[in-house]
Amino acid sequence: MDAEKKAQLQAHAQAIAALLYEETDPEQVKTLEGIEETVRDHLLEYVGPEIVFFYRNQQWRLYRTKTHHQQHHRSLECE
């Protein structure tokens, strides 16, 4: 990953962390164990599904594009 993308990732991660922190009970983050558990729970509940959804959509777009190009190519062969 180049430096610019890494900086963008860090900025977005910090913004996500700030949003999730606002939704966290202060009692949950008083210990290292509590922080780890809270972060893991947030990642599993909010962040992970969004990333998976994004990847699935990207794969679907690639599949549709490839299928469309194959169909278009076949129709040109028939002409």
Measure the CA–CA gap between 11 and 73, rounded to whole angstroms.
Answer: 43
Residues 45 and 39 sit within 8 Å (Cβ to Cβ): no
Q: Could you read off the pLDDT of 66-77 as tens digits, one per residue?
A: 776 666 556 556
Domain ranges of the chain: 28-79
pLDDT of residue 58: 87
pTM above 0.75, yes or no: no
Measure the CA–CA gap between 10 and 14, rounded to whole angstroms.
Answer: 6
Residues 35 and 29 sit within 8 Å (Cβ to Cβ): yes
Which of 19, 54, 53, 58 is closest to 39 using CA atoms?
19
Measure the CA–CA gap between 21 and 61, rounded to whole angstroms.
Answer: 34
